């Protein structure tokens, strides 16, 4: 397309049919004043700080737990679980000492990166209840948090069942005649009673369990000190043969299969974070308690690996899952530790699951939210505990959860990946609001994210895809519900960053980008009724990829009132899939306000390219419009004057006529077609949204020029790719043919810089239809 000056010079000979000109007029300008605000005093600031406590999903009015009881203890006991007691020997037997230590280090490394990411973001937000759910929600929004939180809750609850089954195996080792179903139900009853009474009681029970596990380590330590480590480092196998397990008749294994067996042991780091709503100081307790638990448990796993490698043969470790018990000084102490570890893990998971469900209920993420979010007088989420208990009891009756056991691990890993992703996004955006007390390098969260995803697909690729599909399904469901979060998240910052990146790329492109053109309307509004009357028309002009920028012009000194009237209409555009925004200018006159608006938006990324004007009803407004149209020419903004018929309105919206001025004798077609591009694009856009018939019409009285005119119109339709458009050539002068032209619901004409509004009104009456009068900006092309 040519520049705007070239387009203007072609107006008289090659434009859409235009209305005659009118004289100029002028208007005045006013400048609004502003007043400062007083700073709050110290007392007010203190009250503000108090109000900033995490109230979005409260658990307890009594923040009762510290770092040791609330985070360190449940996290440590969950990591020191059944895999340590029953599978670490098998891992060392298959992988060798160095191979086993590499697997342990790799698993804990991924977990450590996730824990560091979680700790970092925890020190940056006012975390409420829900642990990882609360972290993800406050970073990436309720939809993402809920899509991860729901499967996370289900996996946390079903993990209780798996721990109960593990406890039963240890119990039956001592009491083989006890019925398995009764052991399961009795264990569940004990767990549920402890958790239902209070989290404080559960923590006290875990102190007892920790003492029992420490006793098992003492038994192992005495064995090591009294000669159980009979093999030297020169005699032990440093890198294993990966012979397999009794279940596959020792037909072989691999490094990654052994890693997949071990890795679930490290997925207990959220046990303490789940108590976030009950902690006195979660910003301190979660990082310190979680990282300390990881460090201590890693040291224990390493020491046990060395002890096992030097105390038992490779054959004993791969064939006897109870090798740790057999090599201990007093085996019953290790058995008690095994039972205590499984019971403690189940208890921590049960307490945490109820709190996750209550937090989701407080945010209305799950059904029955009002009931689930209620707290007992002592601050316990007993309604959520009832639902969680019912879910666990039902799964106990299934009797076999081996098929979904990998899925439970996958949902834990999805949670870890999303936490790392949330931190990585916040770090990458470099927002001022991201000021964590614990800062970590960017690569830590990246390694945590990649490591979690790799671990998923190493363990089970098929189940990994299933878990991701389930998470995505929950996201789609929650996104459709349009949840209202009581807090802000970083999604706006993320989208702004993407928009800024795109804006930078656009500025590097050539100035004229006709193929990327789409209607971005600038709509001046003095009263909300102005916008309501043209709402559907504006929607049809911009749907689906256009945008609407509403500029409220307040001339009575009440901009806030006008803004309140415009805001619902702006949201209505957005609800219909149209990007819309609004601003109010406190200006003294229409023309001055529009001039200021266009000049202010000159450098905007989504710069308006069409100004939408309704038919003026006073001579003063007609003069204002003339100034506005001339200013639009200078700013290279198109103009669309909407002149509705008082009775017919837009009729049935089935036919549209686009009028082209007689170009005789020059009917040559080129890319420079003058003031015609916007008229054709407007007609085409409306015909698509209305599913209407489009006509291109011209009036040529000279018989010698009529065939040239028809050829011009047909080539224009072909090159413009306006499929199904009809070319119509009238054989009389425009002023005569307009009376007998094909009837249309909308007629589109060209617009001069100084329009004659009386002539425009005559055209509306003559065509007996609504009319639009459009003027190119010089930046669009109907042939692009």
> 103 is written with which tokens?
């697997």
- How sure is the predictor about 480, in pLDDT bands with cuts at 50, 70 and 90? confident
Helices (H) and strands (E) in the chain, counts: 32, 10
Q: What's the rounded Cα separation, in Å, for the pair 699 and 106?
A: 80
Please report the pLDDT score of residue 433 as a whole number: 75
Mean pLDDT highest for which of 17-21, 584-588, 759-763? 759-763
Amino acid 710: pLDDT: 92
Q: How far, CA to CA in Å, does 461 sit from each of 390, 455, 469, 725, 768?
A: 31, 9, 12, 53, 67
The span from the CA of 696 to the CA of 728, in Å, is 6
The CA dihedral of 240, 245, 250, 255, to the nearest 10 degrees, is: -40
Q: Where is 552: in which H helix or E strand? A: strand 547-553
Question: Buried (b) or exposed (e) across 739-759, using 16+ Cβ within 10 A?
Answer: eebeebbbbbbbbbeebbbeb
What pLDDT is stored for residue 714 in this prediction?
92
Q: Which of 20, 28, 62 is nearest to 734 (CA)?
A: 20
The conformation of residue 68, written as its DSSP 8-state character, comes to: I
Position 729 scores a pLDDT of 93
Compute the radius of gyration of the chain from its Cα atoms: 37
- What pLDDT score was predicted for residue 281? 85
Decide if pLDDT at 681 tops 50: yes
For the CA atoms of 456, 459, 465, 467, the dihedral, rounded to the nearest 10 degrees, stands at -70
Dist CA 357 CA 114 (whole Å): 22
CA–CA distance, 185 with 593 (Å, rounded to integer): 75
Banded model confidence at residue 16, pLDDT cuts 50, 70, 90: low
Check if the beta carbon of residue 695 is closer than 8 Å to that of residue 728: yes
Give the per-residue pLDDT at 266.
86
Reported as a pLDDT band with limits 50, 70 and 90, residue 7 is very low
Mean pLDDT across 149-153: 89
Q: Per-residue pLDDT tens for 34-60?
A: 333 444 443 433 333 333 444 444 444
pLDDT at residue 426 is higher than 80: yes
pLDDT: is 147 or 273 the higher one? 147
Distance CA 733, CA 739 (A): 11
Per cent of the chain over pLDDT 90 is 36
CB–CB of 586/558 below 8 Å? no
* Per-residue pLDDT at 211: 94
pLDDT (0 to 100) of residue 162 = 86
**Do the Cβ atoms of 13 and 666 come closer than 8 Å?**
yes
Please name which of 298, 297, 300, 326 lies closest in space to residue 311, comparing C-alpha atoms. 326
Contacts with 443 (C-beta within 8 Å, 6 or more apart), sequence order:
none
The pLDDT tens digits for 639-665 are: 999 999 989 889 899 999 999 998 888
Distance CA 778, CA 695 (A): 23
Most confident of the following: 28-32, 60-64, 556-560, 576-580: 576-580
* Side-chain-facing half-sphere of 427: CA atoms under 13 Å: 20
The residue length of the chain stands at 784
What is the spatial distance between Cα 327 and Cα 345, in angstroms, rounded to a whole number?
24
Confidence of residue 669 (pLDDT cuts 50, 70, 90): confident
Answer whether residue 370 shows pLDDT above 90: no
The whole-number pLDDT of residue 14 equals 44
Q: Report the alpha-carbon distance of residue 445 to residue 545 in Å, rounded.
A: 36
Q: Is 778 helix (H, G, I), strand (E, B) or coil?
A: coil
Express as a percent the part of the chain with pLDDT over 70.
86
Rounded (10°) angle between helices 255-262 and 442-459: 110
User: Which one is predicted more confidently, 313 or 489?
Assistant: 313
544 preceded by cis ω (within 30°)?
Answer: yes
Which residues, other chains included, contact 424 with Cβ-Cβ below 8 Å and sequence gap of 6+? 117, 442, 445, 446, 449
d(CA 20, CA 164) in angstroms, rounded, equals: 88
Q: Of 748, 684, 668, give the one whose Cα is nearest residue 721.
A: 684
Q: Between residues 52 and 334, which one has the greater pLDDT?
A: 334
CA angle 451, 453, 457 (to 5 degrees): 115
- pLDDT for residue 2: 38
* Residues β-bridged to residue 640: 612, 774
25: confidence class by pLDDT, cuts 50, 70, 90: very low
Task: Say if residue 735's pLDDT is above 80.
Answer: yes
Give me the mean pLDDT over the 619-637 stretch: 89
What are 771's two structure tokens? 């009319």
Q: What pLDDT, in 10s, does the model give residues 530-573? A: 788 788 999 999 988 889 998 888 876 677 888 888 888 899 99
Q: Rounded CA gap, 556 and 562, in Å?
A: 10
Q: Are 213 and 220 in contact (CB under 8 A)?
A: no
Helix-, strand-, coil-residue percentages of the chain, each rounded to 5: 60, 10, 30
Tell me the two tokens of residue 257.
């299969």
pLDDT of residue 587: 67
Residue 140 CA to residue 360 CA, distance in Å, equals 15
User: Is 60 exceeded by the pLDDT of residue 179?
Assistant: yes
pLDDT tens per residue, range 490-540: 666 667 677 667 767 766 666 556 667 889 899 988 888 878 878 899 999
């Amino acid at each position: 397309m040519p520049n705007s000056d070239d387009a203007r010079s072609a107006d008289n000979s090659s434009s859409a049919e235009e209305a005659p000109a009118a004289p100029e007029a002028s208007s005045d300008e006013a400048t609004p004043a502003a007043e400062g605000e007083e700073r709050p005093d110290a007392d007010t600031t203190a009250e503000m700080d108090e109000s900033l406590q995490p109230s979005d999903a409260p658990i307890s009015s009594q923040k009762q737990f510290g770092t040791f009881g609330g985070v360190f203890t449940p996290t440590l006991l969950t990591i020191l679980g059944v895999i340590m007691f029953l599978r670490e020997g098998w891992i060392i037997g298959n992988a060798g000492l160095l191979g086993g230590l590499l697997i342990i280090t790799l698993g804990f490394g991924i977990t450590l990166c996730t824990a560091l990411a979680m700790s970092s973001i925890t020190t940056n937000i006012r975390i409420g209840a829900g642990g990882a759910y609360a972290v993800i929600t406050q970073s990436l929004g309720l939809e993402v948090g809920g899509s991860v939180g729901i499967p996370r809750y289900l996996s946390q609850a079903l993990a209780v069942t798996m721990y109960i089954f593990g406890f039963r195996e240890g119990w039956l080792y001592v009491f083989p005649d006890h019925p398995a179903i009764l052991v399961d139900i009795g264990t569940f009853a004990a767990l549920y009673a402890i958790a239902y009474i209070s989290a404080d009681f559960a923590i006290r029970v875990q102190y007892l369990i920790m003492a029992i596990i420490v006793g098992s380590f003492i038994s192992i330590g005495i064995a090591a000190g009294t000669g159980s480590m009979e093999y030297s480092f020169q005699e032990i196998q440093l890198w294993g043969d990966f012979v397999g397990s009794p279940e596959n008749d020792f037909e072989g294994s691999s490094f990654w299969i052994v890693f997949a067996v071990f890795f679930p042991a490290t997925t207990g780091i959220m046990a303490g974070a789940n108590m976030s709503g009950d902690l006195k100081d979660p910003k301190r307790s979660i990082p310190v308690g979680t990282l300390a638990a990881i460090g201590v448990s890693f040291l224990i796993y390493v020491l046990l690996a060395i002890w096992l490698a030097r105390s038992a043969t490779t054959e004993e470790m791969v064939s006897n899952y109870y090798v740790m018990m057999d090599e201990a000084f007093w085996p019953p102490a290790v058995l008690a530790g095994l039972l205590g570890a499984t019971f403690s893990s189940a208890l921590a998971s049960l307490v945490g699951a109820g709190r996750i469900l209550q937090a989701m209920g407080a945010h209305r993420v799950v059904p029955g939210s009002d009931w689930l979010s209620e707290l007992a007088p002592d601050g316990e989420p007993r309604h959520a505990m009832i639902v969680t208990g019912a879910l666990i009891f039902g799964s106990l009756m299934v009797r076999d959860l081996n098929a979904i056991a990998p899925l439970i691990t996958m949902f834990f890993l999805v949670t870890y990946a999303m936490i790392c992703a949330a931190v990585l996004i916040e770090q990458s955006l470099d927002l001022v609001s991201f000021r964590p007390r614990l800062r970590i390098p960017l690569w830590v969260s990246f390694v945590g994210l990649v490591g979690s995803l790799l671990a998923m697909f190493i363990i089970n690729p098929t189940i990994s895809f299933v878990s991701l599909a389930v998470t995505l399904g929950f996201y789609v469901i929650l996104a459709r519900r349009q949840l209202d979060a009581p807090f802000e998240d970083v999604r706006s910052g993320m989208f702004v960053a993407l928009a800024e990146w795109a804006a930078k790329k656009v500025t590097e492109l050539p100035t004229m980008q006709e193929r990327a053109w789409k209607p971005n309307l600038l709509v001046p509004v003095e009263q909300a009724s102005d916008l309501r009357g043209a709402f559907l028309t504006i929607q049809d002009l911009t749907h689906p990829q256009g945008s609407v920028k509403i500029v409220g012009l307040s001339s009575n000194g009440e901009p806030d009132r006008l803004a309140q009237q415009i805001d619902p209409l702006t949201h209505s555009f957005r609800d219909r899939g149209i990007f819309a925004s609004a601003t109010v200018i406190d200006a003294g006159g229409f023309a001055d306000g529009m001039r200021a608006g266009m000049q202010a938006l000159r450098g905007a990324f989504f710069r308006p390219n069409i100004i939408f004007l309704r038919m003026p009803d006073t001579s003063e407004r007609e003069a204002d419009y003339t100034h506005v149209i001339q200013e639009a020419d200078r700013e290279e903004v198109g103009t669309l004057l909407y002149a509705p018929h008082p009775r017919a309105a837009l009729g049935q919206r089935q036919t549209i006529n686009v009028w082209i001025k007689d170009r005789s004798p020059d009917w040559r077609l080129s890319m420079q077609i003058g003031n015609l591009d916007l008229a054709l694009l407007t007609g085409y856009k409306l015909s698509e949204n209305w599913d209407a018939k489009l006509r291109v019409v011209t009036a040529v009285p000279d018989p010698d020029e009529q065939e040239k005119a028809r050829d011009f119109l047909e080539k224009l339709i072909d090159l413009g790719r306006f499929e199904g458009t009809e070319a119509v050539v009238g054989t009389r002068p425009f002023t005569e043919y307009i009376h007998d032209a094909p009837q249309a619901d909308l007629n589109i004409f060209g617009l001069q810089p100084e329009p004659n509004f009386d002539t425009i009104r005559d055209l509306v009456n003559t065509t007996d239809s609504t009319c639009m009068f459009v003027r190119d900006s010089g930046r669009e092309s109907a042939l692009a």
